[in-house]
Structure 1
Amino acid sequence: MSLAAVSPPGNPATSFVLRCLLDMPLSPPATEISDSIVDLARHHMIAGLVLERIASLKGTPRTDDLAEKLRKPAQRTATKSLRILDAWNRLYVDHLKPSGLRHLVVKGIALDSRYRGSIGARGCRDLDVLLSLRDIDVLLPQLLEDGYNLTTTFSRPSDRVSLSDHMRILTRLSPEVEVVSPQGVLIELHSSLDLSGTAFPTDQWLGRAVQASIGSLSIPTPPTADHFVYLCYHHSRHEWSRLHWLSDLHLLMTHPSFDPEEVRAQARVAGLSRLVTACMELPDRIRDSLENQPEVPGNSMARDLTALCLNYARPAITPPEQGRLSATTPPLERFKSLSWIFCLDWRIRDRRRDRLRLIMNALRPKLADYQTWPLALAWTPIYWIYRPIRFVLRLF
């Protein structure tokens, strides 16, 4: 994976938003770019963060007008985050606590509760909960009985497969299962946080949980070093296509609990040292770009991640996950896109054995194999033969 040299964002609205996220000095923006700033804030789910930041400029007509335009999208972001927090509380009180299921909340409200002390400034799409595979097997039937529903992607593809078989097949073929709460909140139940299965061992992570308080609630979250390394991995695999991920990085790196040496040690354990080193350079590289400073030579991965972040800062650029999942994407183009992300995932791994596991993972049966050819649980080993055949056929 190699990209062109990093170039400064040419759009003044993009520059203003990036300055907000990185706590850089601000000047009141020109009136004609206020709508572009609002569009950027909506697209990247950062309306609340930008609104908070421009409070330091309050008192000028230009910033007052911008603040008024940002207020509604910021309120929508906050409302959704509060609904997600409520969904976690209901899940915990009704199911996780009574069943004694160890769990962690990652990203989203976990970051807000531990590092911001308030909910709503950063946009959240869903609730991410990490549990052991055996505990998801316990939890999933309870949720379906209690009015939760599987999303379309994870719904039963055939009535010939029993519901009990279907639930066990889901947890064996996918590292996460998506359900929607009775209140309409999307919840992802993760049994693993990475494709190799070794960077973030689930049982070890659950054993290192720390509590984050928000109001009267206490949310189990990963320690800062664990969470930071995972954010570097997750956001890089999604090609830094949303700016609220850049705000996550800056938030943790400026928090009192952030210890660079502890982070580097955890990165070595995860086999992601080069990636984490590159991500730790990312905020400063973007600052240099905004200030038209010469590009720092040496770390090609940091340069490439910076280029990705600045490229996707523009709403006109389709986020990579949308392009890959679009039903209208030609198979060859989708293959090229998936090959790109595989090469990226390959590059960020330090250890050869982790790279080998990536190849093995590509050959493992996937949820899509089951969806195209639904089989009962006892017959699912056939997918080990079916998957490579299906993979080849999709290329032609």
Structure 2
Amino acid sequence: MTGTSRHAAREADPAFALLLQLCARAARHAAAESAAPAGRVEDWQAFLRLVDRHRVAGLVHLGLGRVAAAVPDDVRRAIAERAGVLARNNLAMVAATIRLQKAFDAAGIEVVFFKGALVGQRAYGSIAIKQGKDVDFLVRPDDLAATVMLLAGEGYRPSIPEAPLTPAKIDALRAFQIEAVMVDPARGVQLEPHWRLTENRRLLPLGPLLAGADKRESLGGVAIRGFHPDDEFAYLCVHGARSGWFRLKWLADLHALLVGLPEEERARLYRHAETLGAGPAALLAFGLCRELFALPVPAALARPVAAPLQRAMHRMSISCLRDEDPQFSIRRVVVLPMLHALACGPLHVMAEFGRWTVNCQDALDVPLPRRLYFLYPLLRVPLWFGRLLRGKNRLGRKTAGV
């Protein structure tokens, strides 16, 4: 990659360049050279749309206090208002996290919180900066039924999939899905309980992650069980790669966690990610952080970052970052995950194809005993056609779809 093309993404649009600069300066250990200086922004409404599109109002608000940027007062006020709403929402989610940690402890259910406030605290030194829409946590698959009961007792109701969550539905979710969505209508807090971290079971295996989890950090003086920071790094890389890095906030979080580390520590994090099957995802993250935030890639990784599959994923991720509505694009949902699986190896490709053979909605609509689960790939097209005729797809955009 030439020097000109390497910096094209951040220099093509002054509004995007300013966004990068402000996000970079929000990092807890920000370096002055983390992003290229922005040019003159002409369309400030487009800049605000970028802030909303990438969900970085908190980072931009913090960055504006650290960068001498000529930003109109009305734009600063708009950013401050967004950041204020974000801070209030984050406080509600932190309060929910604390309540849930205590409830899970009392019930004897092992839970691990990830992303969210714990990452925000480490990356930006504050729980009020990082934007999120829900509280993510992981439980063991065997604890899913007990988890649903506990959450119901705490006032949470199923949103995706819809209630009621019968034993048959819980079995289907455990077999064919990795997460659900539950909402507390009284407090306005949304949860995403996970029982796996990826549909591809060869990525981020649960055993090592659960073994390394501990109550290393606290929120509001309460110890919260989270992933080991090394494991969280691997997860964030995989989450970004499989999501196409279509939101800048994910890459900004990763950059903020890496920017204060010496080169040998960044290289060590990559080696650890490799042990969890996340090596290709980590290489992609390093390459994107170099292009967008000028974060140096460890010398030992310079050649792997430039490998052909990495270059292809890199170009696609940059395109997804710039798409106005990339969340449901074919290249993000299908092509990039397959490229990532190919970079991981043939067994990962087989696993990726395997996860597309079953739509979890089929198992929810037509519950079968476990011994007949092999029929779902055969039923996928007729059941999809039946839902199409009835206008029914309750899992909505959370499912893979046909």
Measured in 1, the distance between the counterparts of 2:318 and 2:38 equals 22
What is the aligned partner in structure 2 of residue 331 from structure 1?
A: none
Q: Deviations over 1:311-347 (max 9, x none)?
A: 3444x621233x5xxxxxxxxxx6x775424423422
Q: 1:101 aligns with which of 109, 116, 121?
A: 109
> Are 2:149 and 1:141 equivalent residues in the alignment?
yes
Q: TM-score scaled to structure 1, two decimals?
A: 0.80
Measured in 2, the distance between the counterparts of 1:337 and 1:115 equals 26
Measured in 1, the distance between the counterparts of 2:106 and 2:314 equals 45
**Structure 1 counterpart SS, 2:49:** helix
The one-letter code of the counterpart of 2:192 is E
What is the aligned partner in structure 2 of residue 70 from structure 1?
A: 79
Cα 1:48–1:286 change in 2 (3 A) is same
What is the aligned partner in structure 2 of residue 319 from structure 1?
A: 326
1:193: Cα distance to partner? 0.6
> Are 2:140 and 1:170 equivalent residues in the alignment?
no
The one-letter code of the counterpart of 1:105 is F
The one-letter code of the counterpart of 2:66 is S
Cα 1:222–1:215 change in 2 (3 A) is same
The one-letter code of the counterpart of 2:253 is D
1:222: Cα distance to partner? 1.5
Higher relative contact order (Cα pairs below 8 Å, separated by 6+ residues): 1
Q: 1:192 aligns with which of 191, 196, 211?
A: 196
Contact 1:369–1:387 under 8 Å retained in 2: no
What is the aligned partner in structure 1 of residue 30 from structure 2?
A: none
Cα 1:13–1:55 change in 2 (3 A) is same
Mark the runs of 5 or more structure 1 residues left unpaired by the alignment: 157-161, 290-295, 324-333
Measured in 2, the distance between the counterparts of 1:68 and 1:54 equals 11
Contact 1:264–1:276 under 8 Å retained in 2: yes
Measured in 2, the distance between the counterparts of 1:185 and 1:65 equals 30
Measured in 2, the distance between the counterparts of 1:270 and 1:361 equals 19
Contact 1:22–1:283 under 8 Å retained in 2: no
Give the 5 Å matches for 1:1-396: 7-9=8-10, 10-23=12-25, 24=34, 30=40, 32-57=42-67, 62=71, 64-93=73-102, 95-156=103-164, 163-182=166-185, 183-210=187-214, 211-256=216-261, 259-287=265-293, 298-314=306-322, 317-321=324-328, 323=329, 338-349=333-344, 351-363=345-357, 365-371=358-364, 373-375=365-367, 379-391=369-381
Q: Deviations over 1:357-377 (max 9, x none)?
A: 3333333x4421123x333x6
1:165: Cα distance to partner? 3.2
The one-letter code of the counterpart of 2:47 is I
Contact 2:238–2:281 under 8 Å retained in 1: yes
Q: Deviations over 1:196-222 (max 9, x none)?
A: 213222232122124223331322221
Measured in 1, the distance between the counterparts of 2:35 and 2:173 equals 49
Mark the runs of 5 or more structure 2 residues left unpaired by the alignment: 26-33, 296-302, 386-401
The one-letter code of the counterpart of 1:259 is E
Q: Deviations over 1:80-129 (max 9, x none)?
A: 22211111112122x20101222211112221133333112121011110
Contact 1:278–1:301 under 8 Å retained in 2: no
Q: TM-score scaled to structure 2, two decimals?
A: 0.79
Out of 98-107 and 17-26, give the one that drifted further: 17-26
**Structure 2 counterpart SS, 1:199:** coil
Measured in 2, the distance between the counterparts of 1:388 and 1:68 equals 55
Out of 277-286 and 381-390, give the one that drifted further: 381-390
Measured in 2, the distance between the counterparts of 1:129 and 1:254 equals 26
Q: CA RMSD in A?
A: 3.2
1:239: Cα distance to partner? 0.6
Measured in 2, the distance between the counterparts of 1:101 and 1:136 equals 10
Measured in 2, the distance between the counterparts of 1:73 and 1:337 equals 28
1:254: Cα distance to partner? 1.9
The one-letter code of the counterpart of 1:228 is F
1:29: Cα distance to partner? 6.6
